[in-house]
Amino acid sequence: MEDLKYTIYIGGKPEQVWDALVSPEGTRAIFFGSVLQSTFEVGAPYAYVGPGNDGDETVHVYGTVLAFEPHRLMSYTEHAGPSYRENHAELETRVTMTLEPMGASTKVTLVNDRWPEGHPSYESTQQSWPMILSNIKSYVETGKTLDLGW
């Protein structure tokens, strides 16, 4: 399966983008009400937890932190939460997000790779990353996310 790769330019400093990616306020806004829970140490677990199939504490996505350099780089393994796929532990991909300053803006590059053959979430993930990245851009630039009708 092909790697998913996206590049977006955001009108904000890397520190602002980073804050949107890791702060509870930012993640609640851009990741559909979920909060990112982790110590962010390499090798530590992380989870996006929020309202969903299992109530207010639904684990939507989880994995292990692979790299974490504030304002520059975040990489982690990714699994769909247990309520989404019975074989969630087997369905691991990797996400790497790189932030590069460009004047008063930030270039964000996201790569979602290491897809196991036949991964059932590949097509939906291919559609959701552009929406999430657009939400990050809108949130950093305006303080609001997009109304995508959800």
Domain boundaries, the chain: 4-142
- The Cβ of residue 24 has, within 10 Å, a number of other Cβ atoms equal to 11
Per-residue pLDDT of the chain (150 residues; tens, 9 = 90+): 899 999 999 999 999 999 999 999 999 999 888 999 999 999 999 999 999 888 889 999 999 999 999 999 999 999 999 888 888 989 999 999 999 999 999 999 999 999 999 999 999 999 999 999 999 999 999 999 988 876
How far CA 109 is from CA of 4, 49, 73, 90, 124, in Å, comes to 11, 24, 10, 26, 19
Residues facing 108 on adjacent strands: 8, 99
Q: Is 0.85 topped by the overall pTM?
A: yes
Q: Which CATH architecture does the domain made up of 4-142 adopt?
A: 2-Layer Sandwich (3.30)
